[in-house]
Amino acid sequence: MQSLLGLSHNASLLSWALITIVLLIVLIAKFKWNPFISLLLAAIFLGLMNGMPAHEVITSVTKGLGGTLGSIAIVIGLGTMLGKMMAESGGAERIATTLIDRFGEKRVHWAMLVVAFIVGIPVFFEVGIILLIPILFTVARKMNISLIKIGIPMLAGLSTVHGLLPPHPAPMIAIESFQADIGRTILYALIVGIPTAIIAGPVFGSWISKRVHVTPKPELVDQFTNKSERALPGIGITLFTILLPVILMLSGSIAAIADPGKTSGLTVFFEFTGDEVIALLIAAVFALFSLGYARGFNKDDLARFTSESLAPTASIILIIGAGGAFKTVLIDSGVGKAIAEMATGANVNVIVFAFLVAALIRVATGSATVAMTTAAGIVAPVLALTPGANVELVVLATGAGSLILSHVNDAGFWMIKEFFNMTVPQTLKTWTVMETILSVVAFVLILLLSVVV
């Protein structure tokens, strides 16, 4: 009898969760409501419908929002400042032109993949596009090469690091929710991400460029190919500045593995500097000197750059916070536990489960960040009841699922369409297929890696 009551209660919790997710999808996809408002309304609705007292719902929402943004907001702010310094100093252009010269004209699409992968590490996907579009248009015009052939590899590189590689917000949310090790996550992300980006980028780009032909708008080309007279920074200092946070985080993880008892002061030091917040803070401050003062910018310029970089992140930060609120209500209302019991009872592989949950939310809402944030709250309780699971691979599976099938409800879809001057069918054949290849190939590689590690 008690078992039946438990099943009935779980069925009720899951039913309301399903209704709430449908409501969330309708508000975002059909009525175009802001995801921040939609997620907050969904969280409150779910809590109340599942019998939580009103004051507990409010507490759960504020706790989830504040807890999620505790470090993520800092990571976003510092990462954006680092990206802004790279843009203003010409660092992104220096990396691109150097690699293009080294790779040669015939392999320029490979150069664009490498450029995007490196440039995309410290910046948001949208920021990465803005940074690299001038280089893309310049290369296409200078070499008379297909915009699709070099553009798809660029997008593949940016999208791969956005969905899989810390310190990007989406992977960081999953890392914190699942209590994963950031260094191991970076290592596995590189193992999975590099071949994934190659298949979805240069390989697919070369094939689809023969079937889809586009010409960018002349006014956009003129706008984005204007050259600054300021000399570009050196390739060595630019690469070091951009990769500094990743180097610090990897060093912290290696030190922890080599000396788990923290017997050495160096271990404590490397673990401190390897924390994502400290690593990005060090890199951002270093960039003010290496890409700022050293390039002739004065204190007023740097103050303006850092202030300007923060304004576009406000919406992203609020959406992530609201996603954290929704996640916390899922857990506090008992939905997370009910899903965990159902998944463990059905013996669902937690890596497969994480991928499918994130993929469904991504297709429905159009946002990779919303998909990963929401999926983290659903998957975390299942993971807690799955001893022996590789937590870092679950993070990557969630990220891979959040990239799948970008279509008309994704702001990124329209951004790519406009910049590349494509029709909707052309955007579906290029960008949407590329994102889906990225997602599926990454998932397959994650499953193969799970056999080994």
- Residue 305 and residue 21 in contact, taking contact as beta carbons nearer than 8 Å: no
**pLDDT tens by residue, 173-196:** 788 888 888 888 888 999 999 999
pLDDT in the model for residue 340 = 58
Q: Is the dihedral of CA 51, 56, 59, 60 positive or negative?
A: negative
pLDDT in the model for residue 53 = 92
The three-state secondary structure class of 162 is helix
The pLDDT mean for the chain works out to: 81
- Measured CA to CA, the distance from residue 31 to residue 20 in angstroms comes to 15
The predicted model gives 406-412 an average pLDDT of 69
Distances (CA, A) of 39 to 49, 175, 177, 340: 15, 21, 18, 22
- Residue 415 and residue 373 in contact, taking contact as beta carbons nearer than 8 Å: no
**b vs e for 165-184, b when ≥16 Cβ sit within 10 Å of the residue's Cβ?**
bbbbbbbbbbbbbbebbbbb
**pLDDT tens by residue, 200-221:** 999 999 999 888 888 776 665 6
How many folded domains does the chain comprise? Answer: 1
- Measured CA to CA, the distance from residue 444 to residue 122 in angstroms comes to 26
Choose among 243, 295, 241: nearest CA to 89. Answer: 295
pLDDT in the model for residue 91 = 79
- Measured CA to CA, the distance from residue 433 to residue 258 in angstroms comes to 42
Instruction: Residue 140: give the domain boundaries.
Output: 2-452
For residue 342, is pLDDT > 80?
Answer: no
CA 270 to chain centre: 25
pLDDT in the model for residue 192 = 94
- Measured CA to CA, the distance from residue 174 to residue 190 in angstroms comes to 17
Indicate the residue type of 187. L
The three-state secondary structure class of 104 is coil
Could you give the percent of the chain with pLDDT greater than 90?
A: 19
pLDDT in the model for residue 181 = 86
Tokens of 375: 């999926």
User: Is residue 416 very low, low, confident or very high in pLDDT (cuts 50, 70, 90)?
Assistant: confident
For residue 228, is pLDDT > 60?
Answer: no
**pLDDT tens by residue, 49-101:** 988 999 999 999 998 888 877 767 787 788 778 877 877 888 767 776 777 77
pLDDT in the model for residue 226 = 45
Q: Which residue has the tokens 């507990």?
A: 56
**b vs e for 295-311, b when ≥16 Cβ sit within 10 Å of the residue's Cβ?**
bebeeeebeebbeebee
Between 309 and 294, where is the model more confident? 294
- Give the chain's length: 453
Instruction: Give whichever of 65-69, 285-289, 359-363 has the largest mean pLDDT.
Output: 285-289
Distances (CA, A) of 222 to 128, 149, 226, 227, 420: 19, 21, 7, 10, 14
Q: Is the dihedral of CA 403, 406, 412, 417 positive or negative?
A: positive
